[in-house]
């Protein structure tokens, strides 16, 4: 690799030489030496329809020849307007106000700033956020503050604001007492609210699946209980669906699968099918109303130079078309995962098997510390290419999150090769 590149999320000393990718088509990536591997993680969870999809590529091409970008403050453009209308059609009824930015972290920053200022605008002094243990909301300071504390955030501790944490009610196939664990967490939440009424600005959660925290799955029931308590105590519920949005959980959004209406939703990653950086933070009408004044002190002062980039919006519109034309591709994957993962689930070292929509994951028992720095992850990252797989375990958690274009047969091959890889560890 060129020495002038500083790689993200990489311990520099002793880092493996990265594999250079020449091209991509559908599920497959072609490496420089000509080998083809299957992208089982949708390239950090962004790719929905496979690589280099001609429909999205064509939409970007046409848009680039029409209008590549324009300032989005006192100007507007068709792709952004159409996208806002189509997104709000798909989202729960109350979520109607679309704020554009360009990545998941900024979508979360906007959500936190909106929630914070909402209460100020309503002359209430609510200063606390509740988040979940193991949460990941992005790497900018605010988004990092709302996430779990870890080795990744430790050095920035003094820069971050504090939040209060609740356990994430993770569950797995065969888990028997999840209902009572959920109730305990809900009780902890009610206790917080009772002890400090009207101090909490909001709760932020990755609904149904905690991504970077280890593909931990929770139930729809928990989100419904959480929503109910939130309503009783009149705080804001923020769904960070940066990863779970756009079909990942087998429905359009985690909130539609769980039939819960959050007050704010953050969307990024899959929004353009993995082609362009784009994000939205969508707020309810009642939140928007609190900002709809001529008072500069009650205005949301936030924006980015690439806000609502037309190329990103055009890609997002093409991606929505593809999703609408083939809903079965993301709705049907859960059943295939459930069948195919049986061949893996019976192994001694495999525990806590979970499936949610297009995502399947399990924990691999191994020596050494559990969690992100488990050595097994490095071993799998090194060896997976031999089995034509692109995998990137989160410590001892191995997961599959393929693009929706994967065929049943290809997914079967992925599981077969993964089984062979596990034998080789
Ligand atoms: C990836 C992710 C983010 C951050 O998105 P970036 O585009 O990487 O900044 C935020 N929240 C969740 C749930 C994510 O998975």
User: Which protein residue's CA is at the shortest distance from atom 10 of ligand 1?
Assistant: 137
pLDDT at 6: 94
Query: Each residue of 334-343: pLDDT tens digit?
Result: 999 999 999 9
Pocket test of ligand 1: the residue of 239, 268, 276 to mutate, having most ligand atoms within 8 Å of its CB, is 268
Q: CA 190 to CA 185: how far, in whole Å?
A: 9
Query: Each residue of 349-386: pLDDT tens digit?
Result: 999 999 999 999 999 988 776 666 778 998 999 999 99
- Cα 186 to chain centroid distance, Å, stands at 23
Expressed in angstroms and rounded, the spacing between residue 187 Cα and the centre of ligand 1 is: 29
Ligand 1: residues within 6 Å at CB?
Answer: 103-105, 108, 136-138, 206, 211-212, 240, 242-243, 268-269
Low-confidence ranges of the chain (pLDDT < 70): 369-372
Q: CA 329 to CA 254: how far, in whole Å?
A: 16
Q: CA 290 to CA 263: how far, in whole Å?
A: 13
170 phi and psi angles, rounded to 5 deg? -70, 145
Q: CA 411 to CA 156: how far, in whole Å?
A: 41
Element (H, E) at 57: helix 54-66
pLDDT at 352: 97
Cβ atoms of residues 422 and 380 within 8 Å: no
* CATH code, residues 58-324: 3.40.640.10
pLDDT at 38: 98
Listed by start position, the domains of the chain span 58-324
Expressed in angstroms and rounded, the spacing between residue 176 Cα and the centre of ligand 1 is: 31
Ligand 1 nearest atom to the CA of residue 138, by list position = 4
pLDDT at 370: 67
**Would you give the DSSP letter of residue 212?**
T
Pocket test of ligand 1: the residue of 137, 147, 262, 274 to mutate, having most ligand atoms within 8 Å of its CB, is 137
């Amino acid at each position: 690799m060129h020495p002038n590149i500083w790689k993200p999320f990489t311990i520099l000393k002793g880092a493996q030489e990265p594999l250079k990718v020449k091209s991509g088509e559908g599920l497959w990536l072609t490496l420089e030496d000509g080998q083809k591997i299957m992208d089982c993680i949708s390239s950090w969870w962004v790719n929905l329809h496979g690589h280099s999809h001609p429909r999205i590529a064509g939409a970007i091409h046409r848009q680039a020849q029409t209008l590549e970008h324009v300032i989005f403050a006192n100007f507007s453009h068709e792709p952004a307007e159409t996208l806002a209308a189509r997104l709000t059609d798909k989202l729960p009824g109350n979520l109607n106000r679309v704020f554009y930015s360009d990545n998941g972290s900024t979508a979360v920053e906007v959500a936190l700033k909106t929630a914070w200022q909402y209460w100020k605008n309503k002359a209430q002094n609510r200063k606390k956020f509740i988040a979940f243990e193991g949460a990941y909301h992005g790497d900018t300071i605010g988004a990092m503050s709302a996430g779990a504390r870890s080795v990744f955030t430790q050095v920035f501790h003094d820069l971050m604001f504090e939040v209060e944490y609740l356990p994430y009610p993770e569950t797995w196939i065969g888990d028997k007492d999840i209902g009572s664990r959920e109730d305990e967490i809900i009780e902890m939440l009610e206790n917080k609210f009772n002890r400090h009424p009207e101090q909490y600005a909001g709760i932020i959660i990755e609904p149904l699946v905690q991504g970077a925290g280890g593909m931990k799955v929770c139930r729809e029931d928990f989100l419904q209980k959480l929503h109910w308590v939130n309503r009783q105590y009149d705080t804001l519920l923020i769904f960070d669906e940066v990863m779970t949005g756009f079909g990942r959980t087998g429905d359009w959004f985690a909130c539609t699968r769980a039939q819960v209406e959050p007050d704010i939703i953050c969307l990024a990653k899959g929004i353009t099918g993995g082609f362009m950086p784009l994000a939205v933070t969508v707020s309810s009408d009642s939140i928007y109303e609190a900002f709809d004044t001529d008072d500069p002190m009650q205005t949301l002062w936030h924006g980015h130079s690439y806000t609502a980039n037309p190329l990103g919006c055009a890609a997002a519109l093409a991606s929505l078309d593809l999703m609408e034309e083939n809903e079965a591709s993301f709705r049907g994957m859960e059943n295939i995962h459930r069948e195919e993962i049986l061949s893996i689930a019976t192994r001694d070292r495999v525990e806590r098997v979970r499936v949610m929509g297009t995502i399947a994951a399990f924990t691999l028992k191994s020596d050494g510390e559990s969690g992100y720095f488990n050595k097994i992850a490095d071993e799998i990252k090194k060896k997976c290419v031999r089995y034509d797989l692109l995998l990137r375990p989160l410590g001892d958690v191995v997961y599959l999150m393929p693009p929706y274009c994967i065929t049943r047969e290809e997914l079967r091959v992925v599981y077969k090769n993964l089984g062979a890889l596990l034998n080789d560890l």
